Chains A and B, each alone.
Chain A
Amino acid sequence: MNFRPPLKARASRIIVTCLLCLGFWQFGQGAYIPAKAWVAQELMQRAWRRAETGEEQAAPWPWADTFPIARMTVKGGDIDLIILEGGSGRTLAFAPGHMSASVLPGEIGNTIIAGHRDTHFQFLQYMKKGESILLETTEGRKYLYQVTGIDVVDSRRGSLVLDTESPMLSLVTCYPFAAHEAGGPMRYVVTATMLF
């Protein structure tokens, strides 16, 4: 009877192995997302410098389907982000994205920029009214915005205005910041008006 290996022990070992693999894989995934976000920003800072030297629609890496449209500096340079065009999931993985339906920085209307609450736009929770945001376009024009409002809105009911009488900026991210699940309906919106 004793020559048969204990079935229970074998099953347990398989489960432990599976759990370990799963655990490392998931943990890796969890680490990969912020890592990708950070590396992409680094690459884009370089693409930005290329764009500054005159290259048109400089793609940050050869196969990129988007291009930087602005550079955002907040909190005296502590936060320095490149903004990409478009708000698709693919774009937001690398950088905050400018909603293509909204106007470009500096134009009359509302410029809407969205970012992930757990990577690039994590800092939004520390923004306060009166703080300034600097946007620099690829042409080298600089626009200074000042935070005038912070709202939490239900994306199923509220909306962002696209058309305003003066240049505005809306930074959008998910809310609450500490939530684990993605796909919730609440959004955290930081609104700023252009000073000059």
Chain B
Amino acid sequence: MEYRAIWDKRRPSMPKSCWHPRLPAENWRNRMPELFKRRSSWPWLAPGMLLCLIVPGLAGAVPDTQYDDLRPGQMQSGTLLMRMQAGYRIATRMNTDIELKVSGLVARVSVRQKFLNDGPEWVEGVYVFPLPDDAAVDRLRMHIGKRVIEGEIREKEQARKEYEQARSTGKKASLVEHRRANLFTTSVANIGPGEEITIEIEYLQILKYDEGTFSLRFPLTLTPRFIPGAPLPSRKGSGWAPDTTRVSDASLITPPVVAKSEDHKVTLSANINAGVPLEIVASRYHPIDVQETDDGYRVSLMNNTAPLDHDLELLWRPVPTAAPRAMIFSELIEDDPYVLLILLPPNESTTNAVVMPRELIFVIDTSGSMHGASINQAKRALILALDGLKPTDRFNVIQFNSTTHSIFSVSVAADTRRVRTAKAYVRGLKANGGTNMRPALEKALRATTTKTHLRQIIFITDGSVGNEQELYTLIEQNLAQARLFTVGIGSAPNGWFMRKAAEAGRGTYTHISALHEIDEKMERLFRKLEKPQITDIEVEWSDGLKPITYPETVPDLYAGEPVIVKARLKNRPRSGDFVRISGDSAGGSWGGELSLAEFGDSSGVAALWARARIEKLLDDERRGTDPAETRAAVVATALEHHLVSKFTSLVAVDKTPVRSLSANLNKEQMPNLMPYGQSQQAIFGFPATATHAPMYRMTGITCLLAALLLLAWMRMGGSAREFSAAS
């Protein structure tokens, strides 16, 4: 049973304590400080309550005045002051609803962000949020009460101008902007006091299909990124990091983070129509309810909501006999035919395949952002990998944070003694410092090669960096014959980095977000590392179709991976038209043919093709094509297909002004929830630094005073009684 430790609907009779995916031992340890904190606060609670009864007014006088005596002269950092003056409490609250429809291989997802202004003033809400790294964002709707305003696609600067104009003239407006492939910003202007505005964003996504299982991952929060480089004098946004020479938009991608929140909840409603009978529908990290419906399955979160602090992953697997080997989806838009096809190469016995000896270089991220649950997961995964080494392999372990260090100066043979040394080294690793990834990657890629061994780099990290592009270039330029495999660790790893780094490194990526799934997922990775690849994959189309395909050349495939091709055809296919796919592997050559005669109507295929095209154009820019040309091509594609991209944004503006221009508008940056299992202290460095001693002393003195007063009163009362008795 591969899915032992995950959620599925077939096991409803387990005791509740075992059910909860958050109960594993590692999490208890994380919760401990919280318990301690709670316990230490009660001793003064009882006398405190007494105090409130005896000396009303005193207790009320203590708080509130606390922060009023900030003297501007003490403060050096102007931006911090400004943000503090904006108020400690953010008036805007927000929750997220996710609704998704899966048909076949494509998911259309609607994300509704509800902004509720609790305060007495007009507010502009700004929210930085993650989306899947390959999402094609194509729709924006602003819901004001019952009215709906559709968003329009514009070039980025034009969209911002329209939004800012609406904002300053008191109109309601919203704007969705691209920051990174997996990081977007929503801005909502002129939310009235007590008002709620819902921003609905829709996107399309291709499911991941690996070893016969479909999966879909939603990032719900982001791990604070490491920002290298020297600070620049000005800043574009209001994030916690300044813009720097190496990450020029750092202040836009570093929203504030809160450890706990009453809001920040997500609800999920999913309709899965896989087109084939399913064996299992499951969620990896969140408890779910699954119902069978006429056309598939309906999935929702158990208890309806979950906090926005952990990626959500749904997966389902067809009954093995019905598992599709090939699928084809097509769409016709303005006479342009688009095709999306997926083909799974046959499983082959690899018993007689010659396996080349390997040189495995493990790179482990030991930076501060890995502190907490992540580093434990990473260490376990790495130890498992070390156990899987064969005596013929060579290996090395490199760790990096602010600095880089490797256990051996060059790769060594994986004999028992050295593996034992390495395991001890890994067990002793601690997470601290910055995520200075570049030197570690350089070290792994540039180490002198041995011709006899195939170099495989296994890169274990949470990818919490802001200089992604710089690193992709580094990998591409130095890869040579090596292969790079990324393993994403933690509750909210940077999925875009994982996928693109693996793509640049011609390997695969794996996500590990909980201790209980390490064994299963590492085993799957080992299969990919050990089994020979399928190479030289060729896609051949009938004459006259003249397709533009993405990817242009299909990369080598690892065990269990399908070929996925998106294409725009010149002409509509006629009967008899086909596409043929072939490849070579250690077991021999292989090929398959799909008929294109039946042209279907699967909405979204065109948008997904356009999304792939934009990604390709930007990749080419990194490799040296002209930036102006790239920009023009991206803008043209994005405008045609209504997609948010690096150079285009969606903007929705209401026609009627609602805020009188004399009223103030406060800008509020929505915080994100700290990823589950991570300690805020590790990243932000702010522990609790006050004791209860002054409070104790005050309570003590008040109690003693009250006792004295009562005694005095009793004396007086007593003498009064004596007096009345005598008379």
Task: Tell me which of B282-290, B300-308, B697-705 binds A.
Answer: B697-705
CA distance A99 to B241 in the complex (A): 20
* CB interface residues, A 76-92, toward B, < 8 Å: 87-90, 92
- B704–A27 contact, CB under 8 A? yes
- A160–B685 contact, CB under 8 A? yes
CA distance A100 to B36 in the complex (A): 19
* CB interface residues, A 86-125, toward B, < 8 Å: 87-90, 92-93, 97, 99-103, 107-110, 112, 114-119, 121
- Measured CB to CB, the nearest residue on chain B to A97 is B687
A7 contacts partner chain B, Cβ-Cβ < 8 Å: no
- A26–B697 contact, CB under 8 A? yes
Q: Which of A28, A87, A101, A176 has the most CB of B within 10 A?
A: A101
Known: A9-B714, A19-B703, A154-B88. A163 touches B694 (CB 8 A): no
* CB interface residues, A 156-186, toward B, < 8 Å: 156-163, 165, 170, 172-174, 176, 178-186
- A176–B88 contact, CB under 8 A? no
- Measured CB to CB, the nearest residue on chain A to B66 is A179
CA distance A9 to B66 in the complex (A): 40
A30 contacts partner chain B, Cβ-Cβ < 8 Å: yes
Q: How far is the CB of B394 from chain A (nearest CB, A)?
A: 31
The 0/1 profile, CB within 8 Å of A marked 1, for residues 670-692 of chain B is 01000000010111111111111
A20 contacts partner chain B, Cβ-Cβ < 8 Å: yes
CA distance A181 to B69 in the complex (A): 15
- B698–A180 contact, CB under 8 A? yes
* CB interface residues, B 34-89, toward A, < 8 Å: 36-37, 40-41, 43-44, 47, 50, 62-63, 66-67, 69-70, 74-77, 80, 83-84, 88
B333 contacts partner chain A, Cβ-Cβ < 8 Å: no
A31 contacts partner chain B, Cβ-Cβ < 8 Å: yes
- B228–A163 contact, CB under 8 A? yes
- A182–B695 contact, CB under 8 A? yes
Partner of A102, one of B76, B368, B699: B368
B residues in contact with A160, CB < 8 Å: 684-686
B353 contacts partner chain A, Cβ-Cβ < 8 Å: no
Total B residues in contact with A, Cβ cutoff 8 Å:
78
Total A residues in contact with B, Cβ cutoff 8 Å:
76
Q: How far is the CB of B115 from chain A (nearest CB, A)?
A: 19
- Measured CB to CB, the nearest residue on chain A to B83 is A157
Known: A176-B66, A182-B688. A152 touches B75 (CB 8 A): yes
CA distance A176 to B704 in the complex (A): 27
A61 contacts partner chain B, Cβ-Cβ < 8 Å: no
- B714–A16 contact, CB under 8 A? yes
The 0/1 profile, CB within 8 Å of B marked 1, for residues 6-34 of chain A is 10110011011001101111111111011
* CB interface residues, A 113-142, toward B, < 8 Å: 114-119, 121
Known: A26-B699, A103-B402. A117 touches B690 (CB 8 A): yes
- B43–A29 contact, CB under 8 A? yes
- B40–A89 contact, CB under 8 A? yes
Q: How far is the CB of A10 from chain B (nearest CB, A)?
A: 11
CA distance A162 to B119 in the complex (A): 35
- A34–B689 contact, CB under 8 A? no
CA distance A13 to B711 in the complex (A): 8
- B693–A119 contact, CB under 8 A? yes
B356 contacts partner chain A, Cβ-Cβ < 8 Å: no
Besides the known contacts A89-B36, A162-B683, 7 further A-B residue pairs in the complex with CB atoms under 8 A apart: A12-B717, A20-B703, A88-B687, A151-B77, A159-B684, A162-B402, A178-B69
Which B positions have Cβ atoms within 8 angstroms of A?
A: 33, 36-37, 40-41, 43-44, 47, 50, 62-63, 66-67, 69-70, 74-77, 80, 83-84, 88, 224, 226, 228, 230, 240-241, 256, 258, 367-368, 371, 402-403, 430-436, 671, 679, 681-704, 706-707, 710-711, 713-714, 717-718, 721
The 6 closest A-B pairs by CB, nearest first: A163-B434, A27-B700, A23-B703, A30-B697, A30-B696, A26-B700
